[in-house]
Amino acid sequence: MTTSNSLVYLIALPLLGATILLLAGRRADKWGHILGTLMSASSFGVGLYQLSQMLGRSNEARPVTQKLFEWISVGTFNVDAGLLLDQLSICFVLLITGVGTLIHIYSISYMSHDHDRRRFFAYLNLFIAAMLLLVLGNSYLNLYVGWEGVGLASYLLIGFWNQKPAYATASKKAFVMNRIGDMGLSFAIMIAFATIGTVSFEGIKEHAHHTSTGALTAIGIMLLVAATGKSAQFPLQAWLGDAMAGPTPVSALIHAATMVIAGVYLITRSNFIFDAAPTAQLLVVIVGAITLLFGALIGTAKDDIKKALAASTMSQIGYMILGAGLGPVGYAFAIMHLLTHGFFKAGMFLGAGSVMHGMNDEVNMRKYGALRKFMPITFVTFGLGYLAILGVPPFAGFYSKDMIIETAFNSGGTKGIILGVVTLLGAGITAFYMTRVMILTFTGKSRWDAEAHPHESPILMWLPMAILAVGSVSSGFLLSRGDALVNWLAPLFEQHGEHEELLAPIVVSGLALAMVAIGVVVAFLKYSRQEVAAVAPENVSVFTKIARQDLMQDSFNEAVFMRPGQLLTSALVKTDEHVIDGAVRGVAQLALGSGSVLRGVQSGFVRSYAALILIGAALLIAAIWVVI
């Protein structure tokens, strides 16, 4: 364990950028985007410096800590505001600042016509700072601050164009659903404090061995709730699709590459809890598996390109959560998939943004078509991302997703077979809907609106896409070469020796590729051979209809949570009005009534008061007479 004084700059630089941009106001309009980008880039520089330092040390000395100040000190409960940069968080730091910087650059051009571009960059910087605090915090409490910070930044950015009521509603929806997850995190912290007495990662890791499984399971489940909220996992997944209301760079950065993977980070970071709580771990796997299929199914029916990608994100994070739930063998693969996904999904989102940029902000894929000729760079970068997500060798997804499928199969018993089949199925469906996106957008005949004049995006936009495309191609290979990432992360996780192999890796790869091929072929038959209608056909099967409605997730939430909640609220209001207010008013009425009765006694005549005294004296004497 090493200490360092430079960790804080990782967070401080983008935070400074956000502060300056927010406080300077319109004066910063001219140079705000450059400052924001520079701050993000310099944070990335600090991250690279930290990585180089870390590489030069032995495994044990690699984690770096920095104590900022003593935050809470109550009795035996001490929480320092401290930072921890270890092999796990450096991955996230580089992903966040790296992809973040690329998206900053992209946004300079993408948002150039928006007169609030400075504010946009301020929020982006704020997000980077909060996300870095999330992954750098050395305790759950510090993590919680960052966790709320990214929630805030996400809310502000989804509702960036809040002049449109639908967008403002979407941001509120995301915020509220995230709050449910955040409550889980706060409960987890409280349980940890109550049972273990500390909330720092290190402290809990030390005490996890002699803490009751029940408490650990409770903490684990609460952490899972938190993760489902932030990472849009079942059952708190409904907000992600609507979050696409935000500008496309936001979707790429927050709702694809970084913030939504916070749940994966949380579970991976809490490996010592989940390893000791098999029930919670099993729940993690189940949640991951459900979401994986759920997102993929939604993706097949979406005509909005961003919503299709959002569904895909949900599904891919399902893979990561599933991987993280598989225990020590899965953590590293989850992280690897997370990193590769960060590249290819961000690249594809930026590609989608580029397409929208050229098509007058049209998001309906049925009105695209044949864009390949007009946007060659976008087509190529998007295509590389497409190949990566499909898992075609040697692109990134092949290494990361295959590993998760393989681990799922090898997790043992019936569970392994079910998970393996689910992940394979997911891979097939992913291939189907991603191929659909490709075909609808870039090939076939044009189905544009009359006023559309598609054109390639400027260099500031395609350069980040190109860099991300390079990442989509190479990251998987680089990270898995000689098990680089697995070995890099190994010191953090407890190893459990060897595990039996149900299927040989080559078999799994073959199966996965076969599923992908089936998906691609089906999509080709359905969308390339036939004419695609510019307007979504209405006479479709009931399954399609349900899928178009996000598998009824909103209706479900509305029926199960919102309506009873409203009923409860109105019942409480009634109770308040009639029972509580009634009691209060009743007391007042009682006082008033008795007052108006007793007022008769207060005639104001001294003599009647004297008469009362006389009566009282007579009664007193009578009492004495009786007693004596």
Partner 1 sequence: MDAANYLYLSALLFTIGAVGVVVRRNAIVVFMCIELMLNAANLAFVTFSRINGDLNGQVVAFFTMVVAACEVVVGLAIIVTIYRSRRSASVDDASLLKR
Partner 2 sequence: MVDLAISVGTTQNPEAILFWVLAPLTVAAALGMLLVKKAVHSAILMASVMINLAIFYIAQNALFLGIVQIVVYTGAVMMLFLFILMLVGVDSSDSLTETITGLRPIAIVASVGFGGLLISLIGRATLGRSAVGLSEANMNGNVKGLASLLFSTYVWPFEVVSALLITAALGAMVLAHHQRIQTRPTQREMSTARFRGESLANAAGLPGPGVYARHNAVDVPALLPDGTPAANSINATLKARGDMLTSGSFELGKVDTSAEEEK
Binding site for partner 1 (CB under 8 A): 602-607, 610-611, 614, 617
Which of 163, 272, 159, 129 has its CA nearest to residue 209?
Answer: 272
Which residue, 55 or 615, is less far from partner 2 as judged by CB? Answer: 615
Shortest distance, position 621 Cβ to partner 1, whole Å: 10
Q: Which does residue 602 touch among partner 1, partner 2, none (CB within 5 to 8 A, set by kind)?
A: partner 1
Rounded CA separation 150/133 (Å)? 9
| Beta-ladder partners of 85 | 64
**Count of other CB atoms within 10 angstroms of residue 207:** 15
Which residue, 588 or 620, is less far from partner 2 as judged by CB? Answer: 620
Which residue, 212 or 602, is less far from partner 1 as judged by CB? Answer: 602
Q: Which does residue 604 touch among partner 2, partner 1, none (CB within 5 to 8 A, set by kind)?
A: partner 1
Rounded CA separation 247/256 (Å)? 13
Shortest distance, position 592 Cβ to partner 1, whole Å: 18
Which residue, 579 or 614, is less far from partner 2 as judged by CB? Answer: 614
Which residue, 112 or 602, is less far from partner 1 as judged by CB? Answer: 602
Q: Which does residue 497 touch among partner 1, partner 2, none (CB within 5 to 8 A, set by kind)?
A: none
Which residue, 580 or 617, is less far from partner 1 as judged by CB? Answer: 617
Rounded CA separation 465/222 (Å)? 37
Which residue, 569 or 603, is less far from partner 1 as judged by CB? Answer: 603
Provide the 3-class DSSP secondary structure of residue 79: strand
Shortest distance, position 628 Cβ to partner 1, whole Å: 16
Which residue, 459 or 617, is less far from partner 2 as judged by CB? Answer: 617
Q: Amino acid identity of 139? A: S
Provide the 3-class DSSP secondary structure of residue 29: coil
Q: Which does residue 625 touch among partner 2, partner 1, none (CB within 5 to 8 A, set by kind)?
A: partner 2
Inter-residue contact 460 to 342 (CB < 8 Å): no
Shortest distance, position 597 Cβ to partner 2, whole Å: 17
Q: Under the rule (CB under 8 A), what is the footprint of partner 2? A: 603, 605, 607-608, 611, 614-615, 617-618, 621-622, 624-625, 628
Stretch (H or E) spanning 64: strand 64-74
Q: Amino acid identity of 107? A: S
* 413-431 exposure pattern, b = at least 16 Cβ within 10 A, e = fewer: eeebebbbebbbbbbbbbb
Q: Which does residue 606 touch among partner 2, partner 1, none (CB within 5 to 8 A, set by kind)?
A: partner 1
Inter-residue contact 427 to 435 (CB < 8 Å): no
Q: Which residues contact 445 (CB under 8 A, 6 or more apart)?
A: 369, 370, 531
Rounded CA separation 288/231 (Å)? 10
Q: Which does residue 624 touch among partner 1, partner 2, none (CB within 5 to 8 A, set by kind)?
A: partner 2
Shortest distance, position 605 Cβ to partner 1, whole Å: 5
Q: Show the CA angle centred on residue 272, arms to residues 270 and 278, nearest 5°.
A: 95
Shortest distance, position 572 Cβ to partner 2, whole Å: 52
Shortest distance, position 587 Cβ to partner 1, whole Å: 26
Shortest distance, position 604 Cβ to partner 1, whole Å: 3
Distance of alpha carbon 230 from the chain centroid: 3
